Amino acid sequence: MNPLLEDWTTPFAMPPFDRIKEDHFKPAFEAALAEWKAEVEAVATDTAPPSFANTVEALERSGESLDKVASVFFNLSSSCSTEGLQAIEEEIAPELAKSHAEIFMDTRLFARVDAVGDDGLTDEQARVLKLYKESFVRAGARLDEAGRKRMSEVMQRLASLGAQFSKNLLADEKAFELVLETEADLEGLSGAEVSAMARAAEDRGHPGKWVVTASRSAVEPFLQSSKRRDLREAVWRGFVGRGADRPETATKDIAAETVRLRDERAKLLGFDNFAAFKLENQMAKTPEAVRGLLERVWTPAKAAAEADRARLQELIVEEGGNFEVQPWDWAYYAEILRQRDHDLDDAELKPYMQLENIIAASFDTASRLFGLSFAERDDIPRHHPDVRVWEVMRGDKHVGIFMGDYFVRPSKRSGAWMSTFRDQQAMDGEIRPIVINTCNFVQAKEGEPVMLTFEGARTLFHEFGHALHGLMSDVTYPRISGTSVARDFVELPSQLYEHWLMRPEVLGRYALHAETNEPMPQELLDRVIAAQNFNMGAATVEYLSSALVDIAMHTTDVGEDYDPQALEASVLEKIGMPAGLGMRHRSAQFGHVFAGDGYSSGYYSYMWSEVMDADAFGAFEDAGDIFDASTAERLSTAIYSAGGRQDPELAYLAFRGRAPEVEALLKRRGLLDAA
């Protein structure tokens, strides 16, 4: 028997990870795909008049086995990747895309779905019906036979390209290492950073030495702390060179073909460009609206970054340097200025940012807002020894399973994300979700506490906000479960949740010193809060430049000679990218955009959502209590539990009572005076 195709009798019907082997996946995909196609064929050939029950609900029930297999596979391929899993992904990704295209371009199915009226439907059913009709149209169901054939070919090729982009990027991240030979190479680094680098050296076969890897959680602290400018440059170049420096793993051609095919896809459907197609059903609606927001924030952010750059240059001259500030210098000298301006440095702050306590803080915040509790379980299967598992309850009711996979390893792609092994739904009885947060924090030596940077703590809260969006989902239909919402709305629950970390009501309870267990002194807490917008101009410019390049890539006319890296350079020149700053994600390693379709023409969504989250937290401030019960209840009902039950504009209005205001974002980022 193939365990992927069995009914899972494990606690909470968790995947039986201890029994699942790599060679189970290919036959499981084949069987599950065949089952899905047979289920859909039964809907397409049903002789009864189309109804919501026999058409839409039947489609919602189809593919259960495939969902199970795919959820396990893609979670493992992103966090426990092997050459075997990569080979399967390269083979199965286009097959999945082909099957999806065949189903959503099936004119028989579309005719049945299109014939279903919304008379007598609940609001939720009407929303699901609308989304199904929209999906068929956007997949190409109204195209002629030649158009449908070409669309299927395009979608298969795009799936293959996304898998190849991810494979190349992971290979580069594994390949890069800067081996430090002597203690002189460690000048400026904290004890925790040195310990982490020693552990990385052991893992990579360099005992007695120290290694900097291409993980952002290793690179950023090194750039901030190392006094060795030559080593900072080597680390920075290795990090931004992923996907560009090694011919055998270069992503340029993959990205170029991806953009060309996306453009063709959009034009097959009658759109001017891919961004216009992608944004049609998002909150932003048009590329012009996206540019309007990004450029509204770009002007004050650039002004703030230029002012900060001048201060950094003065500091370099003051220290006797005879060079212009470069991207590998910015974080180092900015940290010196932060210490001067706010009497604050990471060496003082980091002992208070213990991973265990930040996890507890995220749980306690959810408890105080939403009445949730978290009990760690050791009897539940997991896919890696580092993974931890909690049962989530509200009172005596089971809410779901939360998993945390927190530590960097070579088999895990970079970044941090939330995903699921099972989504919530209630079509045939209540099905509760299995949600996982995956991060890349640097693990400490055995017996030592894991300590985070403040940005690491913010990342944990951010991803846990996504997790709550999945865990608290309370809808009937899988199509609108959890995070199945517009891309420029999905970041609202996660970015909003970050606000609680910055509050003394949370930090005062959980920012405890790793050695003394004493709470963070009030004066230090005050300095942390005062410094939260330090260097915000640079951080905003790094993000905005990536978002502007993303939109430009998907609105520019493309031809056979299209070059995404040349376009990137052109955009940066046009917007006047401040000297000494780099993009958050260059096109060669822009996994958000090229490893899949999720954030293509959508990287702007973090800022679109931030307009809402900055404004939304104001509701708690207006109430005079960041845990105000009635405000939290509205937040739960309208946002965290609602999934995609209604248009996001209406969901936000249901919570806040009005549309969000951009000024709240500028105020939060400390850019209002520069606007």
Same domain, 202 and 61: no
Same domain, 57 and 136: yes
Structural domain including 30 reads 3-170
> Of 220, 248, 276, which residue sits at a domain end?
248
**What's at 350, amino acid-wise?**
K
Residues of the chain with pLDDT under 50: none
For the chain, the residue count is 675
Burial of 260 (0-12, 13-18, 19+ CB in 10 A): middle
In a domain, 86, yes or no: yes
Catalytic pick from 463, 491, 498, 542?
A: 463
User: Which has the closest alpha carbon to 478: 430, 418, 417?
Assistant: 430
- Give the whole-angstrom CA distance, residue 568 versus residue 577: 11
DSSP assignment letter at 249: G
pTM above 0.85, yes or no: yes
Same domain, 208 and 105: no
Q: Are the beta carbons of 542 and 582 closer than 8 angstroms? A: yes
Same domain, 151 and 9: yes
Q: Which residue is associated with the tokens 């958050």?
A: 584
Q: How many domains does the chain have?
A: 2
> Of 211, 226, 248, which residue sits at a domain end?
248
Same domain, 9 and 96: yes
In a domain, 153, yes or no: yes
Tokens standing for residue 357 = 């306590």
In a domain, 112, yes or no: yes
Q: What is the pLDDT of residue 675?
A: 55
How many Cβ atoms sit within 10 Å of the Cβ of residue 31? Answer: 16
Q: What is the pLDDT of residue 530?
A: 84
- Give the whole-angstrom CA distance, residue 527 versus residue 345: 10
CATH of the domain at 11: 1.10.1370.40
Same domain, 156 and 212: no
Q: What is the pLDDT of residue 674?
A: 64
- Give the whole-angstrom CA distance, residue 287 versus residue 285: 7
145 is catalytic: no
Same domain, 140 and 214: no
In a domain, 151, yes or no: yes
- Give the whole-angstrom CA distance, residue 57 versus residue 132: 11
Tokens standing for residue 614 = 């900055």
> Of 190, 218, 248, which residue sits at a domain end?
248
